Amino acid sequence: MAPAVATYEPRDPSRTVLYKVIAEHLETFLASFDADPDAKRLPDSVPREFYDYVQCGILAHGFLRLGCDTCKTEVLLAFSCKRRGFCPSCAGRRMAQTAAHLVECVIPWVPTRQWVVSVPIPLRYWMASSKELTAKIHTISRTTISQYYVNQAVKRGVERQQVQPGSVTFIQRFGGALNLNVHFHCVFLEGVYLDRTEAGLKPRFVKVEPPSDADVTAVLQQISRRVIRTLRRLGYLEAGIDAAMATGYDPLLDSEPELARTLAASVTQRIAFGERAGQKVRRIGSGFGYEGESPELTGPRCASLGGFSLHANTQVPAHRRDQLERLIRYTARGAVALERLGEDAHGDLMYTFTRPWSDGTTGITLAPLELLEKLAAIVPLPRVHLVRYAGCLAPHSQLRGAIIPTPRQQGVDGPETSAETPRWSRARLLKRVFDLDLSTCPLCRRGSLRIIAAITHEAVITRILRHLKLAAVPPPIAPARARQETFDWVA
């Protein structure tokens, strides 16, 4: 009989282009701020993101010992960094976990629609540097879309005070070119729930008609108007004039000037530091550029106005839970796709796009330090929720317990039916997403893998890895290198 073949290949991040670039150039990147006497260092959360990443998935930094309860085979599972910035592995786990939890335990079996809200470039920078402003702009966007659903239900004869819309918003900080682009992906229930608790009845879902192009345009106009009023009130825009003119108000520039430069350059597709400071990011396959603004209506249920845009053409039927899970994986995805990052013969990094831009650009080229600069810009601010629930899906909503999927709809029993326990095991996620069974022993294919111990002491780590003939020393982090200067020698 042929030996059993394992279906899961443990990852080795040290072999990826991203890991090699960060390990080789991280200290040089951070030291560049110390070299400038007028510069301040980046906030501690940014270097910590990089240092934790280079330890993620490396057995020499610690691991779990898993043992088969039948054949006693052991498997080692490296610790992860669990960071939210750019780590592809942890982002992938969080994406799969969030999508599975929402589909199984939170979003009821009703139609849903995605609304994508984008904002003007200056506002993206302001939002990236202020979690309070991000919360305000999100509230304006969410409540405006919610009002649309409530108004549609009221037209059908429902009392306004008795209905609740529901939504889950994913705050993304990145664009397809590794640029800073704070925007919102809002998954709304395609209707509202009628609260009938006073009559002793369960909530009833009231489905509304899909939005028309005119509806999307009207919602966008309301979002734009309310956001501009808020920015004027907060001092970001000039007050008392019709044109929306910036005042220059920038609190981050005073407290964290180097982070402000990093964010501002990333949001405008430029380079902040180094030899190419101030220059545009180099494009691949670019044409002659793009002239003029897009028309107000840019596609089905898609509108653009003064730098704001709203896309609402993605709808999922109630019974297509597979489509809903794919949609949520898309909205919860990470910033960096490893398969799109490569290195050319000159040592520059090429990051290709999933689809070309309108001017023919198919990707961008970055020097190693420029890549680290872009990654630093998309690291989220500490203690900021990137997934937000509202309406009848909010944690404290009185209707939530009555509308979330039932155990029969979930197809599971026990603790997995609870909407209060969103963390799934890695084995369960791999089984769900890739149909890989990590809970079963890869050798005998009969026993189950159980956690034996968490190995964290360096001496024990080294002894086990050397016994297994695995790398017992983590990949080295290159020391900082001074920038090379060019001189004109005169005879």
Q: What does the pLDDT profile of the chain (491 residues) look like in tens digits? A: 343 444 456 789 999 999 999 999 999 999 988 766 666 788 899 999 999 999 999 999 999 888 888 888 888 889 999 999 999 999 999 999 999 999 999 999 999 999 999 999 889 999 998 999 999 999 999 999 999 999 999 998 889 999 999 999 999 999 999 999 999 999 999 999 999 888 888 999 999 999 999 999 999 999 999 999 999 999 888 775 555 555 566 777 767 777 777 777 777 667 766 666 666 665 555 332 322 333 388 899 999 988 899 999 999 999 999 999 999 999 999 999 999 999 998 889 999 999 998 888 999 999 999 999 999 999 998 889 999 999 999 999 999 999 998 766 665 554 444 545 456 566 565 555 544 456 677 777 778 878 888 899 999 999 999 998 999 999 999 998 875 444 444 43
Three-state DSSP class for 106? Answer: helix
CA distance 398 to 157: 23
Tokens of 261: 């430069």
Provide the 10 A C-beta neighbour count for residue 69: 11
Position 211 scores a pLDDT of 97
Instruction: Report how far residue 126's alpha carbon sits from residue 250's, in angstroms, rounded to the nearest whole number.
Output: 8
CB–CB of 29/262 below 8 Å? no
Q: Token digits for 382?
A: 């500490």
Long-range contacts of 356-361 (CB under 8 A, 24+ apart): 356/285, 357/286, 357/290, 358/290, 359/286, 359/287, 359/288, 359/289, 359/290, 360/285, 360/286, 360/287, 361/283, 361/284, 361/285, 361/286, 361/287
Q: What is the DSSP letter of 466?
A: H
Return the pLDDT at 486. Answer: 41
Phi, psi of 391 (to 5 degrees): 65, -140
Question: Which one-letter amino acid corresponds to residue 383?
Answer: R
Burial label, 362 (beta-carbon count in 10 A; 0-12, 13-18, 19+): middle
What residues contact residue 402 under an 8 Å CB cut-off, 6+ apart? 202, 203
The rounded Cα 431 to chain-centroid distance in angstroms is 22
39, amino acid identity: A
Give the integer Cα–Cα distance in Å for 288 and 265: 22
**Which tokens sit at 8?**
């899961």
Per-residue pLDDT at 85:
93
Say whether 265 sits in a helix, a strand or coil: helix
Q: Which residue has the tokens 């009833």?
A: 204
Sequence-distant (≥ 6) Cβ neighbours of residue 377 within 8 angstroms: 128, 179, 180, 262, 263, 265, 266, 267
What string of DSSP letters covers 122-156? HHHHHHHH-HHHHHHHHHHHHHHHHHHHHHHHHTT
For 127, the token pair is 């939002």
Q: State the CB neighbour count (10 A cutoff) for residue 300.
A: 11
- Tell me, what's the pLDDT at 240? 56
Residue with tokens 């982070």: 259
d(CA 190, CA 315): 8
CA distance 431 to 446: 16
* Contact predicate 125/378, CB 8 Å: no
| Reported pTM | 0.84
CB neighbours of 294 closer than 8 A, spacing ≥ 6?
A: 304
